[in-house]
Amino acid sequence: MGVQVKMNSGVKDISLNNQKWTVQTEDGNTHTDFDYVLSSAPMRELIQSVKPAFNAEVLADASQLGYRDFLTVVLICKDEDAFSDNWIYIHDPSVKVGRIQNFKSWSPYMVPDPEMACYGLEYFCFEGDGLWTSSDADLIALATKEIAQIGLTKPSAIVDGYVVRQPKAYPVYDQEYKERVNTVREAIKEYPGLYLVGRNGMHKYNNQDHSMMTAMLAAKNIVAGKEVYDLWDVNEDAEYHEGGERGAEHQKIAERLVPQKLQQ
């Protein structure tokens, strides 16, 4: 449709001049004359990369936003003793794995060989900690040991493994995140055409469908030429949709619960 899509082009910075945006990419190229920029980049990193620069308070608040990181150890196995769940949360304190995905249960097309199964053992961590910096071989060995320990398959069934590291998988909700995000929300009003979208872009722990919806509504606003939809209202009630109707009798909360600082 006449739109250029550039892959593997990291953004170095974006700048606003005379109501037009310029995007500098890390390959040294400059892309000019944009009316709008939609960013799903982590809020902490984007705010540091906007010109003209935000004031010191905004930069400081954005820099204090935190993230929880995540890695998946993928085990490709012979389809023996398969379980049918899409995913399972693991509560056994003797293992480090927190959740296991069964990709074949999501869709048989994710595992093209019907004789095989593919499990993703998910470990919650921080970038740079012991889990994150472990070698792929050590992580595959750990996952092999732990999936056998909890009884989902045997080590003899595992034929291969692969590790995927995902930084900034979760925005951290600490006792000060909301005020920091609100500071950024107010500040970007002075930068017309800049939309923050998605989980990391808005520092909101949205589900995937809600994250996609923020970008779709941003596009609708652009087409309409005005702010018809407030992107920040998407999933504002913090309803946990996977929970279905359970707990519906309880009073709905206005936001997710966050840790509170202890009073000394």
Question: pLDDT value at position 264?
Answer: 67
**68 phi and psi, to 5 degrees?**
-110, 135
Determine the Cα–Cα distance for residues 16 and 11; give it in Å rounded to an integer.
15
Number of Cβ within a 10 Å radius of residue 38: 16
Number of Cβ within a 10 Å radius of residue 86: 13
Whether the CA torsion 45, 181, 237, 67 is positive or negative: it is positive
Over the stretch 59-69, which tens digit does the pLDDT of each residue have? 999 999 999 99
Whether the CA torsion 119, 213, 34, 63 is positive or negative: it is negative
258, pLDDT greater than 80: no
**What's the pTM?**
0.82
Determine the Cα–Cα distance for residues 41 and 20; give it in Å rounded to an integer.
20
Over the stretch 31-40, which tens digit does the pLDDT of each residue have? 999 999 999 9
Can you tell me which residue has the tokens 């890695």?
71
- Residues near 171 by Cβ (< 8 Å), separated by ≥ 6? 65, 66, 67, 68, 177, 199, 200, 203, 204, 205
DSSP state of 187: H
Which residues sit opposite 24 in a β-bridge? 13, 30
Q: What class does CATH assign to 67-170?
A: alpha beta
Residue extents of the structural domains in the chain: 11-65+174-243, 67-170
The alpha carbon of residue 58 and the mean position of all alpha carbons in its chain are separated, in whole angstroms, by 22
Question: pLDDT value at position 211?
Answer: 93
Number of Cβ within a 10 Å radius of residue 24: 17
Q: What class does CATH assign to 11-65+174-243?
A: alpha beta
Kindly tell me the burial class for residue 253, based on how many C-beta atoms sit within 10 Å of its own C-beta (0-12, 13-18, 19 or more): exposed
Average pLDDT over the chain reads 90
Can you tell me which residue has the tokens 């470990």?
123
Q: How far is CA 133 from CA 24, 66, 120, 128, in A?
A: 31, 19, 18, 6
**Range in 12-26, 117-131, 151-165, 229-243 the model is least confident about:** 229-243
Over the stretch 168-223, which tens digit does the pLDDT of each residue have? 999 999 999 999 999 999 999 999 999 999 999 999 998 889 999 999 999 999 99
Determine the Cα–Cα distance for residues 229 and 226; give it in Å rounded to an integer.
9
Structure tokens given for 259: 């840790």
Determine the Cα–Cα distance for residues 21 and 36; give it in Å rounded to an integer.
7
**216 phi and psi, to 5 degrees?**
-65, -40
Per residue in 212-248, is it b (16+ CB within 10 Å) or e — as a string? ebbbebbeebeeeeeeebebeebbeeeeeeeeeeeee
What is the CA angle 68-72-74, rounded to 5? 180
Which residues sit opposite 14 in a β-bridge? 23, 50
